[in-house]
Amino acid sequence: RRPPRSTPLYSSAASDVYKRQDLTVEAGDSLKFNASSLSVPSTCGSVTLNLKHGGKMPKTVMGHNWVLSKTADVGAIASDGIKAYTTSGRTIVVKENDGRVIAHTTLIGGGETTSITFSLDGLSASESYTFFCSFPGHAGLMRGAFTII
Ligand code: ZN
């Protein structure tokens, strides 16, 4: 008589679903995101942020991006973003390899969309995070809370 084959009740691959959360934020030809706060469950593995520019103005005039950082770093990142904008010939608004930036999209103008997928590894529900647009002059108004719940 053969020994019974051991069969797992369920596969661990199927039970450990690694979730990805999709978020969409829109802006137009004014200094305003359509969301003043965003939150994602801590059980999410990663987030895909879609940014849509529903306006008509070009990115050199009314460009938008979506940057995520600790709230305490927003001012310094925005300030370095203005320098990057100037030195890059108005093409980028985030300093290259800025370690304070958790995630950021490309800069877009009217009619364009962009997205960024990033991991929530290392982010904490007890930390204060802010999303903002780092186009020169926009961070003061285009910003909101990003919360891990
Ligand atoms: Zn903007």
44 Cα to the center of ligand 1, angstroms = 27
pLDDT value at 29 more than 70: yes
24 Cα to the center of ligand 1, angstroms = 15
% of the chain beyond a pLDDT of 90: 82
What is the pLDDT, as a whole number, of residue 16?
Answer: 42
What is the pLDDT, as a whole number, of residue 5?
Answer: 59
123 Cα to the center of ligand 1, angstroms = 25
99 Cα to the center of ligand 1, angstroms = 21
Dist CA 61 CA 46 (whole Å): 32
The number of C-alpha atoms within 13 Å of 82 and in the hemisphere containing its C-beta is 9
Residue 30 DSSP label: S
Pairing of strands 113-119, 44-53: antiparallel
92: left (phi over 0), alpha (psi -120 to 50) or beta: beta
147 Cα to the center of ligand 1, angstroms = 21
21 Cα to the center of ligand 1, angstroms = 23
pLDDT value at 78 more than 90: yes
Of 126 and 10, more confident: 126
User: Which of 18-32, 39-53, 63-77, 86-100 tops mean pLDDT?
Assistant: 63-77
53 Cα to the center of ligand 1, angstroms = 9
pLDDT tens profile 84-134: 999 999 889 999 999 999 999 999 999 999 999 999 999 999 999 999 999
Lowest-confidence pick of 1-5, 125-129, 136-140: 1-5
